Structure 1
Amino acid sequence: MSGLKLFHTTNSGVTEVTPHLAEVEADVQGLVEAHMEMMLGVRFLAREYVIDCVDGGRIDSLGLDENGAPVIVEYKRGTDTGVINQGLYYMSWLMAHRDAFQNLVRDRLGAWAAAQVLWNAPRLICVAGDFTRYDAHAVREHRRSIDLVRYRFFGKDLIGLETVASVTGRTLTARRVRRDGAELPPVRGQGGALAELAEAVDEVLLGLGDGVSRVQRKQYRAYQRLRNFACVCPPQKNKLLVYLKADPKEADLVPGFTRDVTGLGHHGTGDLEVQLRTPRDVERAQELFRASYAVA
């Protein structure tokens, strides 16, 4: 990992755990596929998926993210300047063969999941030993959502993932515009106070760090890095409900403000519910927003 040092502590001192690359690319692919939902927030669908076109090819991994967006994951053991173009080639094939992907989703996850696929937000995740500065620049020139993720193994049983660059596809931008020119997602049926509250929440969540993307679904707006860290639902009477990935067990739950919804059905993702009624509530919630962002 760039600039990161890891040490193992013992009673006699500390020992540095030396980072290293995988022996073969398949080691990275196999580990990520086995734990894809935990690592990337993506449900695994298929590996080495053969595409039926003149030039052929195999997509390393296919998946579906938390918001229903199709995801292509490509792996490289070390640094490979062709990984982005290779992934975009597969992305073009995917967008031209939507029925094939939806049939795959239907076979793996059922008809309901297949009907919910979000085709305006396909994603490419490149997992590699490293990337060049030209790679980080290149992703900003494309219209697709692309995440560059650097991996390192530490010792025998630790792996680290670091997002090097994350770009939101322009197809995800919404229709409303703030005073500074940045776009906001549509907010349906809100009065003036709740509209301003929703706008304030949007600004806070987008401002938590680089690489935050926003995905609009009918039932909620998701804010994500690699994984969702917040989901904002449409107003309910006089409040906004925000669901966070922060651990409810580590939060001081306040009746009427925060609630543990583990195991309870709701739109979006996350087990900590935050109820927002006033601008003061947004200020109170910012520490929880940051904690959720940190674990995404």
Structure 2
Amino acid sequence: MAGLQVFRVAGGDVRRVEGATVEFERDLQRLVEANMEEMLGGVRFMASEYSTGPVHRGRIDSLGLDEDGSPVLVEYKRTSSQSVLSQGLFYLAWLIENRGEFEALVEQRLGPEAAKQVDWSRPRVICIAADYARYDLVAAGMSHHRVDLVVYRRYGDDLVTLDLAASVAGGCGSSTVGQSERMRPSSPVRRTVSDALTQVRSELRELYEELDARLLDLGEGHSVELQHYVAYRRRRNFACVRVLAREQALVVFLRVDPATVQLVPGWTRDVRKIGHLGTGELEVRIASVEDLDRSMSLLRTSYAAAT
């Protein structure tokens, strides 16, 4: 038994509801674009049918910006298709080489501050189609880019499902950086969590590994190392982890309402009105296994809220 099974229950009896595809691909695109933040887990809509210019001669179905500030490119196929992933990666190469255009688009829609915060360390490709061949699933893992393959189904006039068939975090290094950007002498050196971990005591590295294991053991989540932090996510982020090398501590931002928590100085802090690198409104500082143990209920609460 494979795939999502949907049943209608009436009087104790169940009847299977058969899924269908949309009649026109553009119908699916319009639906997602009008509801992108809800349907794609925090991705804000930026543009539709974005032209890649007279030389490249293409059109990107949808452009968005996720909650981490990462560029998102969305491609749709009404039915099953082996071309949607390659098409998405083709457009991603153009997007990486034309960062200025995307940042100008973000500035136009969200303002100059949002444009400055665009994080190019892990741009995303989201493909939405009726199904995928096994070749697509293997190719996604081999692409070294951040890729989500999503299966959609329509049930009647008022129900649409989105099912994540595969999610790939992408590799580290310069594979997501265009050659023109690498050659810029003025490009700043950016330190990642991996860099910070090389500058801390072995005890803190071990604590980070334990935190990482416990976050992933909460359930279906996965992690992505971004420019300033490691994001742990389901549909949305449930934890953002930073390593503070100078303070020899870990800081975790959680999707927990600080008003529901009794704040403890030195451990938990309300950051709703404080600028910070990471999503979530509750800051939790972890400097020992004891801190991690007492934080577990907060981690579970945040995980449950990230649906």
Which residue number corresponds to residue 49 of structure 1?
Answer: 50
- Cα 1:111–1:14 shift into 2, 3 Å: same
Which residue number corresponds to residue 151 of structure 1?
Answer: 152
TM-score by length of 2: 0.77
- Structure-2 separation of matches of 1:9 and 1:273: 43
Equivalent positions of 1:267-286 (< 5 A) are 267=276, 268-286=278-296
Structure 1 unaligned regions, length at least 5:
174-182
- Cα 1:145–1:53 shift into 2, 3 Å: farther
Does the CA-based 8 Å contact 1:256-1:275 persist in structure 2?
no
Considering fraction of residues, name the structure with more strand. 1
Does the CA-based 8 Å contact 1:185-1:216 persist in structure 2?
no
- Cα 1:211–1:8 shift into 2, 3 Å: same
- Cα 1:110–1:23 shift into 2, 3 Å: same
Structure 2 unaligned regions, length at least 5:
175-191
Deviation digits for residues 194-230 of structure 1 (CA, Å, limit 9, x no counterpart) = 4432332123334556772323333x43223453221
Equivalent positions of 1:204-243 (< 5 A) are 204-206=214-216, 212-218=222-228, 220-235=229-244, 240-243=250-253
Deviation digits for residues 85-113 of structure 1 (CA, Å, limit 9, x no counterpart) = 11111111111111111111111111111
Deviation digits for residues 151-190 of structure 1 (CA, Å, limit 9, x no counterpart) = 12233322221111111221369xxxxxxxxx96233775
- Structure-1 separation of matches of 2:56 and 2:165: 30
Pairing 1:200–2:201 present:
no
Equivalent positions of 1:1-296 (< 5 A) are 2-10=2-10, 13-40=13-40, 41-171=42-172, 185-187=194-196, 190=200, 193-206=203-216, 212-218=222-228, 220-235=229-244, 240-245=250-255, 253=261, 255-256=263-264, 261=270, 263-267=272-276, 268-286=278-296, 288-289=298-299, 292-293=302-303, 295-296=306-307
Does the CA-based 8 Å contact 2:122-2:226 persist in structure 1?
no
TM-score by length of 1: 0.80
- Structure-2 separation of matches of 1:14 and 1:273: 46
- Structure-1 separation of matches of 2:99 and 2:133: 32
How much has 1:286 moved relative to structure 2? 4.4
Identity across matched positions, percent: 44
Opposite residue 126 of structure 2, the aligned amino acid is: I
Opposite residue 67 of structure 1, the aligned amino acid is: D
How much has 1:8 moved relative to structure 2? 4.0
- Structure-1 separation of matches of 2:22 and 2:290: 48
CA RMSD in angstroms comes to: 3.4
Stretch of structure 1 that moved more, 76-85 or 27-36: 27-36
